[in-house]
Amino acid sequence: MRLAIIGAALLLLGGIAAAAGIVTPPELAELADRVVPILVFVAAITVVTELASEAGVFLWAGRRLRRWGLGSGLVLWLLLALLAALSTIFLSLDTTAVLLTPVVVAVVRQAGLPPLPFVLTTIWLANTASLLLPVSNLTNLLAQHSLGGLSPAGFAALMWAPALACVLVPLAFIAIVFRRDLQLRYTRTPAPGKATPAPDRFLLAASGAVLLALLPLLVSGIPVWIPATAAAVVLVLLFAVRRRQVLTIRLIPWPLLLFASGLFLAIESFLGLGGSALLGVLAGEGENFADLLRLAATGAAGANAVNNLPAYLLAEPLAATPERMAALLIGVNAGPLITPWASLATLLWHDRLARMNVRISWKGYALAGLIAAPLTVTTAVAALAAAS
C-alpha cells in the first residue's frame, strides 16, 4: 500500500511537471514507447511466476535440491545458490526475493540448518546476479533500450565477465564468514513439521513445462513482453480450469506498476530540469578502470542512498558508451547490499522473512554489505575492464 501511495504521489508530481511544460508531449510519447513494454513484461512475468509458485514448482525444486545435497550443508547451500542465480537471471530479482525466499526457508528448516547464510545468499544473489540478461532486472531492460535495443546475446556478451564476478565474490564472502554453519550435516529425511497438501500434479507439470518453454524465448531476441504475456495467458487458462480461486486481481503487481510509472515520470521531469548535472561531476567520464569504477561507485552510492531504480535513471545520461553503461549497471545492480531500501527486492525479501518468523538485523546486514558491496563492485569493474 505504501508503495502505491508513493507511486501515486510521483505520478501527480510528474503530471504537474508535464502540465507546466517541463516534459513536452513528444518526450512523454518517447517515454511511453520506452517503458510501457517493460511494465507489461513486469506484470506478465509476475503472473507467470506467481502461478508457477501456486502450482508448487519452486517448492518441488527446493525439495529435490535438499535430497541432492547428500546431507551436506555446504552442498545444499551451493545448490540453493545456483537456483537463486538461475531464478534471478531468467525470471528477475524480484521473483527470487518474493517466491524463492519462502522455499529456501522451508528447505533449510526441514534440514534443521541455520537459515542466515542461506537467506542472505538468496537476497545478495537476487541483486548481484541480475547483470547477465535484460530480463534479470528492470534497470537492464532500460539499459537495453538505451543501447539501441541490444539483443540478449549482445547484452550477455557485454556483461558476462562482471556478471560472473558479481556471483562469485558474494558467495566467497558468505563461504568464509559462515564456514562453520555451512560445514554442518543434515538428515535427508525432512524434520517433523506442518504437513503440506499434495500439489495438483497436472498443474505442477504444466507450469514447469511453460517455464521451461519460456526461458529460451526470453533470450531469443523477441521483445520479452510477448513471450511473457503468452505464458501468462496459458497459465491463467490452465488455472481457470483447475484452480479458478487462485485467479484474483492481486496476481498483478499493481503497487509496483504504479510506483514504477510514477517514478519514470517524476525522474523524466527532474532530468528536464538538469537533474544529472551534479552527478556528472561525481561520475566523470572516460572508459579506463578508474573512470568506470568512479561511475559504478556513483551508481552504488545513489542506490544505497535512495534506491537503485532512480539512481540508474538519474545517471543514465552519463553512460554514453556500452562500457560505461555496463559500469553503471554494476553499481546499481550489485551495489545495493547495504541499506534496506537500496532495492525493492531487499524490502520484499525482508517482508517474506518476517512473515516466516526469520529475524534479520538490519545493522548486521548493513555491516556485512559495507564489506561485500565494495568488494563486489570493484571486482566486477575490474572484470569489465579486462574483458573490454
What is the DSSP annotation of 51-70?
HHHHHTHHHHHHHHHHHHTT
For residue 103, what is its C-alpha cell?
Answer: 522455499
Mean pLDDT, residues 44-53 taken together: 89
Using alpha carbons, list the distances in angstroms from residue 163 to 5, 48, 341. Answer: 34, 25, 22
Q: Do 299 and 317 contact (CB within 8 A), yes or no?
A: no
List CB contacts of 333: < 8 A, sequence separation 6 or more: 127, 128, 130, 131, 137, 139, 140, 166, 308
Q: 326: domain range?
A: 2-387
Going by pLDDT thresholds of 50, 70 and 90, the confidence category of residue 191 is low
**pLDDT computed for residue 306 by the predictor:** 84
Going by pLDDT thresholds of 50, 70 and 90, the confidence category of residue 10 is confident
- The total domain count for the chain is 1
Q: Do 126 and 350 contact (CB within 8 A), yes or no?
A: no
Tell me the angle at which helices 322-329 and 362-387 cross, rounded to the nearest 10 degrees: 160
**pLDDT computed for residue 210 by the predictor:** 93
Q: Which residue has the higher pLDDT, 208 or 352?
A: 208
For residue 127, what is its C-alpha cell?
Answer: 541483486
- State the residue for C-alpha cell 532512480: 310
Going by pLDDT thresholds of 50, 70 and 90, the confidence category of residue 1 is low
Radius of gyration of the chain (CA): 21
Among the residue ranges 27-31, 130-134, 166-170, the one predicted with the least confidence is 27-31
